[in-house]
Amino acid sequence: MSREIMVVNDSFTNCSDANFYGRISKASELSEESNCTVTAVCIGNFNDELKNVFEYGADKVLLCKYDGCSHTDFCRIADKIIAESRPKMIIFPGSELGRRCAASMSVKHEMGLTAECIDIEWNGEAFIYKRAAINSSAIVQIKCVNCETESCTVKDGVFLPNKVDTPKAENIELFDSSGADLELTDDIEVISCEKKEKSVSTFSKIAFGFGRGASDKETLDTIYENAAFFDAQVFGTRAVVEDELIDKEHQVGQSGISISPDVYVALGISGACQHVVGIKNAKKVIAVNQDENAPIFDYADYAVVGDAKEITKEIKKIIEYQKQ
């Protein structure tokens, strides 16, 4: 049986994405425990940045040079790769392209598929996939049975990129996609594709999150000022996105993004399970809420019961004092 973990890239042009490196790092960690190898599957037109994947623990790059940007062709190539390699596990990105490809491949190759996985562990015998379920009110653990290849999709920001101490020697294998002829309907026509500069970093060291309890203009202005001092990103709950106080790109949670900061400062956030599922990988959570029974305190490492407005102002005062 194959002992290969494949990590699929989701861009035809960009191989320098911290999220891709994060998924490779996770695969590398699992490979050590499960005695597997890690192959970075890169379908597209890449420059030398491709070699960076070795720093994050890849054993091999399987490079399929492809100049187009058709989702259907991507799936066809992935299909041929899977048919030829039958890896133990495939990690797909949680992007539109990754989810589409994972769904098609799981049917075609009878692979187990855990969508929107938030963690993967090796229990000594099998991979255990964790994901939120029942409207994010529970984290379930999934084990794939009776399938040669198992797979999952992982959203950006879930796994942190970690460089390995001793990268493997560069091993780039070219994959010949000729004859990739999976029958698929071309229902999406991609006219062009270009590298999008992301304004959101899911890996900033410090992140401020605000909810309805910290959403008046004065508090918000102060939160942004404080964030600028700490070089931190600002995120919001779905409630404040719906109130148009921050754009959807910065919504953390089940229907938004996942973030993995060292410190997450949750201001005036109730702590609904749909929100906290997006901060599962934050190393420390500091929560400020005036309701001592707010659910966010169940997840917080440090709980501050008080008015978010006053506490935000206090943080500003400390910053100003430090600047002097």
Ligand X SMILES: Cc1cc2nc3c(=O)[nH]c(=O)nc-3n(C[C@H](O)[C@H](O)[C@H](O)COP(=O)(O)OP(=O)(O)OC[C@H]3O[C@@H](n4cnc5c(N)ncnc54)[C@H](O)[C@@H]3O)c2cc1C
Asked if residue 225 lies in contact with residue 183, where contact means CB atoms within 8 angstroms, the answer is no
Q: How far is the CB of 292 from ligand X (least distance, A)?
A: 9
Closest distance to ligand X from the beta carbon of 48 (Å): 37
Give the nearer residue to ligand X in terms of CB position, either 38 or 269.
269
Q: How far is the CB of 100 from ligand X (least distance, A)?
A: 21
Q: Determine, following the binding rule CB under 6 A, whether residue 309 of this chain makes contact with ligand X.
A: yes
Task: Give the integer Cα–Cα distance in Å for 259 and 160.
Answer: 9
Task: Give per-residue burial for 3-26: e unless 16+ CB within 10 Å, then b.
Answer: ebbbbbbbbbebbebbbbbbbbbb
| Residues 286, 263 contacting (CB under 8 angstroms) | yes
Contact between 6 and ligand X by CB under 6 A: the answer reads no
Contact with ligand X (CB under 6 A) among 108, 130, 212, 316: 212
Longest dimension (CA), the chain: 67
Q: Is 118 in the site for ligand X (CB under 6 A)?
A: no
Tokens of 139: 């984290």
Residue 249 binds ligand X (CB under 6 A): no
Residue type, 274: Q
How many residues make contact with ligand X (CB under 6 A)? 28
* Complex with ligand X: residue 263 or 266, whichever CB lies closer: 266
Contacting ligand X within 229-248 (CB under 6 A) = 237-240
Amino acid of residue 167: P
Does 25 interact with ligand X (rule: CB under 6 A)?
no
Q: How many CB atoms lie within 10 A of CB 285?
A: 23
308 part of the interface to ligand X, by CB under 6 A: yes
